Amino acid sequence: MRGLVTRAPTSLPLRHHAVAYDGARAAHRALQRRNINHKTLACGETLTAFLTDLRLDDFQPLLQRLPAGTFEGASGPPMGSRDLRRFLVSVARAASGNSQLLEMLGDCKDRLATPSDEEVHRIVHYCLCLHLITRELAASPELARAVLDHQQRALRSQSDWWKYLSAFEHAKLITLERALIFFSYHRAPSGAAEHLPIPANFGRIGLPFNIFEAVLQDALFYRTGTTPASNAWAGVPLILARPGRAGKPAALSDDSRRAVRMHLPLAQKWKDLYIAWNVAFTSNYQDAPYFAAALLCPCILGASPDEFMFHRTFALHLHASAQIRARSRLGIPPGGRVQSERDWAAACRKANLIDTWGDRNLKAAHEYFAEVAPQLNWVSQPWHEKIAEPLIARQAAALELEEGSYAGVVTPTRGLGRAPPPEPLPLAGEDLEPGQVPPWRRLALAANVFTLGAALTAVAPLTLILFAPALAEAAGAAASAGI
């Protein structure tokens, strides 16, 4: 299949990675059982159904690039093979290089009931759908801009769609759209009116803030792990080790894709920790496997570390659009089940998977922090000695205690949300000049800051460890500038 194998994370044959190999074989057998003729070709009907939830089933610029024989109406270059076995192998190969992810998949095999063949069929096709679209958006700046504009307008064309989002999901949607809009600015041709040069520290604020939203949600509501909010704490090093600290500026790829490349400290380990942390976080959703599918696409999981978040942002926005569309179509409040056959959050909680993963991720985060702190000279900072080291010591000691459990499964709210819908941000070259912030946007940002401030007081230790390095850095910069 064209473009499936993006990067070989290991030189060993796939069969030497038992969890990945067995998982791919089990999924293939489920697909064979579901089909009367035992063939495992990609199903155009299922793929098109997912494309409809993305509101892209009649969007010709995309259909003209998607492989013919996959989605209804697709007329792009055909894939070398529609056999889903090859797609499953590409997913397994991409996963085989991440030991934390393999351990989590092994836990699922050992502790969760096997999903139905129909569920496997849908999850595999959803992952393939996101993979094929994400790959095209990453390859074409013009298509990415057009699809974003189309999705923004299509999403907001249905009244009351915003009522199916939680406060966290509102914030996530805004930051995702903001990131994609800036992608369009920087990927535009150099001579275009909307083009903006990519800054060396691109992602320095946006990426940490995006992760911070999920960390707050995890800490305040899910509290994943036997140590309070251990998975939330596992996300803290991902925030602190932000773009711009690796000593290499952000840049665009020198090919026609003009892919946005961000460099992170110990990039491969950062990527592996992010994947494990995010899988544990999204396991609090009833549609958990479909959230994971937006991360396990070969073009994302197999992307080089510097392009990982570039591809991830496209797929995550697609998944958010699909969830919103499905909820509004079915009338399901935020957090409800709209894609899967069972409540996977309850199943994972019952099997003690979410707490196990949270604790394991916190240990991995400690290891990453210990390795990156000297590299970034954090060890010489007062906050490292007075805040970080005692906190890590207490967490490490708590992780050795007998496992407990904490409530925190995402459940549907009693009613629909009352918040007003967020306005679509303008694309480059439209109503506003590039980079200009409209008055309503300033008010929205002020409201977001106020809301975040209230939330931060509820998780004071988390707030302190997150902002102490930033305050120390700002103080040092002010002193050097004579302020």
Question: What is this structure's pTM?
Answer: 0.85
pLDDT of residue 365: 95
Here the tokens at position 393 are 């010591």
At a CB cut-off of 8 Å and minimum separation 6, what does 477 contact? none
**Side chain identity, residue 230:** S
**Is 5 contained in some domain?**
no
Q: In the beta sheet, which residues pair with residue 90?
A: none
At a CB cut-off of 8 Å and minimum separation 6, what does 377 contact? none
Q: In the beta sheet, which residues pair with residue 260?
A: 252
d(CA 299, CA 91): 9
End-to-end CA distance of the chain: 58
Residue pair 445/356 in contact by the 8 Å Cβ criterion? no
**Is 416 contained in some domain?**
yes
Task: Report helix, strand or coil for 151.
Answer: helix
Tell the residue number behind the tokens 């024989």, with chain if given.
Answer: 69
**Is 258 contained in some domain?**
yes
CA angle 325, 328, 333 (to 5 degrees): 120
**Is 4 contained in some domain?**
no
Here the tokens at position 433 are 């000049």
Here the tokens at position 399 are 């992780």
pLDDT of residue 420: 55
**Is 482 contained in some domain?**
no
At a CB cut-off of 8 Å and minimum separation 6, what does 430 contact? none
pLDDT of residue 403: 42
d(CA 365, CA 370): 8
**251 sits in which H/E element:** strand 251-252
Q: In the beta sheet, which residues pair with residue 67?
A: 76
Angle between the N-to-C axes of helices 141-155 and 117-139, in degrees from 0 to 180, rounded to the nearest 10: 120
DSSP 193: T
Number of H helices, E strands in the chain: 21, 2
Q: Which of 360, 403, 406, 364 is nearest to 223 (CA)?
A: 406
DSSP 427: P
Q: Which of 77, 87, 86, 95 is nearest to 9 (CA)?
A: 95
How many CB atoms are located within 10 Å of the residue 228 CB? 16
Supply the range of the domain harboring residue 67. 14-476
Here the tokens at position 80 are 């070398």
Q: In the beta sheet, which residues pair with residue 251?
A: 261
Exposure pattern of 39-56 as b/e (b: 16+ CB <10 Å)? ebebbbebbbbbbbbbbb
Number of domains in the chain: 1
pLDDT of residue 68: 95
Q: In the beta sheet, which residues pair with residue 41?
A: 83
**Is 458 contained in some domain?**
yes
Tell the residue number behind the tokens 């002020």, with chain if given.
Answer: 446
pLDDT tens for the 483 residues of the chain, in order = 444 444 444 456 776 678 887 888 888 899 888 886 667 789 999 999 999 999 999 999 999 999 999 999 999 999 888 899 999 999 999 999 899 999 999 999 999 999 999 999 999 999 999 999 999 999 999 999 999 999 999 988 887 888 889 888 988 999 999 999 999 999 999 989 999 999 999 999 999 999 999 999 998 887 766 667 899 999 999 999 999 888 899 999 999 999 999 999 999 999 999 999 999 999 999 999 999 999 999 999 999 999 999 999 999 999 999 999 999 989 998 888 999 999 999 999 999 999 999 999 999 999 999 999 999 988 888 888 888 888 888 888 888 753 433 333 444 444 555 555 555 544 444 444 444 545 544 554 454 445 445 444 544 455 555 545 544 554 444 444 333
At a CB cut-off of 8 Å and minimum separation 6, what does 173 contact? 165, 320, 324, 422
- φ/ψ (deg, to 5) at 261: -115, 120
Report CA Rg, the chain: 22
d(CA 296, CA 279): 10
Q: Which of 251, 127, 180 is nearest to 424 (CA)?
A: 180
Residue pair 43/50 in contact by the 8 Å Cβ criterion? no
pLDDT of residue 294: 95
For the four alpha carbons of 225, 228, 234 and 239, in that order, the dihedral sign comes to: positive
- φ/ψ (deg, to 5) at 29: -65, -40
